Amino acid sequence: MPWLRQTSAVAVLASCSRERADLLLVEPARPHRPSPSRRRTLLKPGGVSGAQVTTYTRQENSSAATEFKRIVNYLLLNEFRERVLDELMAKFGMREKELFGRYYIPINKLELLKDGGMLIGAHDATHRVLSTLSISDQHSEIARSFAFLDRVLSPQPARTFCYPFAAPHAFTRDTEILLETAGAAVAFSVEPRDITEHDIVSRPFSLPRFDCNQLPFGSASGSV
């Protein structure tokens, strides 16, 4: 697949080995590209394909941002993901606490929502594409997510879950079984339509929901 392209400099994953995930800043004026043999050691083979090609089409991203998200979320090998993101944060002087405060709701606000009668659902622990993980790793992501909510909010009337990335390719039947075993009542995918009685009866762990980008004031161009 083509490498990241943008008029300004962009961070790309390059010059990598399984021992160390290095980062390279590539500028259009200096069109250096890492050799394919070295690049493939960090990325899954095959490139973005199938249903993954339709990801992020409802977000208002630049083509470079969309491709970067697809690389990080679908092509980057799971064992390198956290380290690569940490290096990107350090390279561009980003501070986690500042980003969290800008994009994510604090715990005290979650408590206000709960006190107002809302259910706070889980979303897995580290925002992985669950279908790319082993069953044991999926179990860990789900269990840690529910444990966090139980710890900060105390047990809620029901456990609910929304799949990261949410499209049907992002989870499997095994994921649904794991959620049922974990005590979840329902789980949500992204399919822009109303829930029917048949949905609830036939497949409660793959209920449809509307993408927030389809709603008024719901644009999420900065989301992952």
The predicted-structure confidence for 73-109, as pLDDT tens digits, reads as follows 888 888 888 888 888 888 888 888 888 888 888 889 9
Do 16 and 39 fall within a single domain?
Answer: yes
Residue 160 has pLDDT above 80, yes or no: yes
Do 119 and 195 fall within a single domain?
Answer: yes
Given 31, 63, 97, the domain boundary residue is 97
In a domain? residue 222: no
Lowest mean pLDDT among 9-23, 58-72, 185-199: 9-23
Q: What is the mean pLDDT of the chain?
A: 76
Query: Can you give the residue range of the structural domain that contains 72?
Result: 10-97
Do 93 and 109 fall within a single domain?
Answer: no
DSSP string, the chain: -PPP--SS-EEEE-S--SS---EEEE-TTS-----HHHHTTTB-TT-S-GGGGGTTTTS---HHHHHHHHIIIIIB-HHHHHHHHHHHHHHTT--HHHHHHHHS--HHHHHHHHHTT----B--SS---GGGS-HHHHHHHHHHHHHHHHHHH---SSEEEE-SS-SGGG--HHHHHHHHHTTEEEEE---SS---HHHHHH-TTSB----GGGSTT---TT--
In a domain? residue 4: no
What pLDDT, on the 0 to 100 scale, is given for residue 132? Answer: 87
